[in-house]
Amino acid sequence: MDILIISKYILIIAFMIMMIAALRASAYKTTSMGLLGSSVVVVAFAMALLVCGEMYNLTFYRDISLALIFFGFVGTVAFAVVAGGDK
Amino acid sequence: MIVEYIQSALLIIAAFLVIVSAVGLLSLSKDMKNAVYGRIHIVGIFDIACIIAMIGLGQYLLAGIYFIIAPFTAHAIANAFYKGEDVENNAKLGEIEEDDVDDSNPFIVPRSKVQELENEDSEKLKTDDRFTISTLDIVEEE
């Protein structure tokens, strides 16, 4: 088996572990931790999608992961501005 | 062939950093001071791991975009936490505005008055003053 394929599988497993850890972290009591955990979950999912699309030659995977990363950023910043208050 | 080895090395380094940041995110103690800022810092390691993985996969534009975007996210979350929830560091969040308390309303009492009542060593207030019972005298003739 090619070493590149093996490293991609290892990376996908690492992203799965990170998603579970971020889900646990998002359950902590402050709102900011929920925001942080959800943003990490979105980025980890986009990265896993990027690796899977590279492996199986999926179409549009790059566009979908770009959209997830970009709109995840926009949503996180918007919620952070609302949560911080207007003062 | 060499390019493949470099790519796989980058991906394995990224996977290692992702696992390290996942363990760090969960193992950080709740009782630690400023734990939220520490977790935001740990997520920064995850962001860099993602950028390394993107470079390893050949997505250079995506890596550049995420390299610019990631610090904005971290600063926005830290700023929101400081302004909204950080009671330890932000002194403004600990202040309570008592100007709005209406003295005529018997159900709303300022916190300082309640603390005085709860303090047993207070010499100003005797035990009888803590609870008062008011009665209405109804005269039938009226």
pTM: 0.77
Check CB contact of B50 with chain A, cutoff 8 Å: yes
Q: How confident is the model at residue B125 (pLDDT cuts 50, 70, 90)?
A: low
Chain A contact set for B58 (CB, 8 A): 54
pLDDT digits (tens, 9 = 90+) for B61-88: 999 999 999 999 999 999 999 988 888 8
CB-neighbour burial class of residue B25 (10 A; exposed 0-12, middle 13-18, buried 19+)? buried
- Whether the Cβ atoms of residue A21 and residue B26 lie closer than 8 Å to each other: yes
The reported pLDDT for the residue numbered B68 is 95
**CA A7 from centre of chain:** 19
Answer whether A68 touches B (CB < 8 Å). Answer: no
Q: Which of A26, A59, A27, A58 is nearest to A43 (CA)?
A: A26
Q: How far is B52 from chain A (nearest CA, A)?
A: 11
Low-confidence ranges of chain A (pLDDT < 70): 86-87
How many other CB atoms sit within 10 Å of the CB of residue A36? 29
